[in-house]
Amino acid sequence: MSRNLSFLAVAALALGTCTEPARAQFKIAPGVMEIQEDWKLIIAQGDPTRDGPQIMTYMSPVGNASTPYAWFLINVRDRPNPYTPGGLQVQIWDPSNDTLLASATSTIHTEALNNSNETITWTQKMVCTGSSTQPITYSILNGISTTWSTFGPFTTATALSFAGPTNLNNYTPYESVARSRVGWMANNVTSMTLLTVRQCDKNGKVNKTDNLNLSVNLNPQ
């Protein structure tokens, strides 16, 4: 059963169909050039016969969809690939014209979710590199799961680069949580949580840690 998550994700951005989580205290510290988000996903039941569930997490250098942004696709791969259930993929999109700018697909971790009560954890990282043409990089690190064992990064490079702002002053974790979603078979997901955000300087040194525990709405209106 084909579920085009890229299409659903772009449509959601265009319509603004995201539910804002309750806001805790979060402030960007001066000089932040790297953001690390720690995520936890609990799958009630994988169902390879129905290609589900299929999950997307979102991350942007700003608090809206005005600049290129990243999707992390879990248990599905599509653009520019043919639709294929299972596996892991990262996509970078330009919202100005709904264009896929870059993608990275794991060629090793291709299995489909097929376990009960599986916990998946990972870190997604966004960095301002100082480049004048492609100042933002995005990567998935430290992934742990039953289905794929350890995962991230997916390519020989450590991250995908793309154009965007030259700082992370307007980053907010609430944007990540509001736009992340289960695109297919939400009833098979127990929870999806942004646990922790770390703010780092240009050398990758952690200056501030926020333990947020923000839950994604699994059934957005």
Separation of alpha carbons 155 and 165, rounded Å: 24
Residue 23 lies in a domain: yes
Residue 220 lies in a domain: no
Q: Are the C-beta atoms of 91 and 60 separated by less than 8 Å?
A: no
Residue 162 lies in a domain: yes
Strands (E), the chain: 34-45, 54-59, 69-77, 84-94, 99-105, 116-128, 136-144, 150-151, 160-162, 181-184, 189-200, 206-215
Separation of alpha carbons 41 and 161, rounded Å: 26
Q: Are the C-beta atoms of 71 and 58 separated by less than 8 Å?
A: yes
Residue 140 lies in a domain: yes
Question: Which among 164, 167, 132, 136 is positioned nearest to 67, based on CA atoms?
Answer: 164
- Per the structure, the complete domain to which residue 146 belongs is given by 5-215
Residue 221 lies in a domain: no
Q: Are the C-beta atoms of 197 and 210 separated by less than 8 Å?
A: yes
pLDDT-flagged residues of the chain (< 70): 1-24, 155-158, 221
Residue 84 lies in a domain: yes
Q: Classify 142 as helix, strand or coil.
A: strand
Residue 134 lies in a domain: yes
* The pLDDT value given to residue 3: 58
* The pLDDT value given to residue 219: 85
Q: What is the pTM of this model?
A: 0.90
Amino acid at 152: G
* The pLDDT value given to residue 1: 41
* The pLDDT value given to residue 2: 45
In tens, the pLDDT along 67-108 reads: 999 999 999 999 998 999 999 999 999 999 999 999 999 989
Alpha-carbon dihedral angle through residues 100, 102, 108, 114, given to the nearest 10 degrees: -30
Residue 87 lies in a domain: yes
Look at the chain and report how many structural domains it folds into: 1
* The pLDDT value given to residue 81: 85
Q: Classify 172 as helix, strand or coil.
A: coil
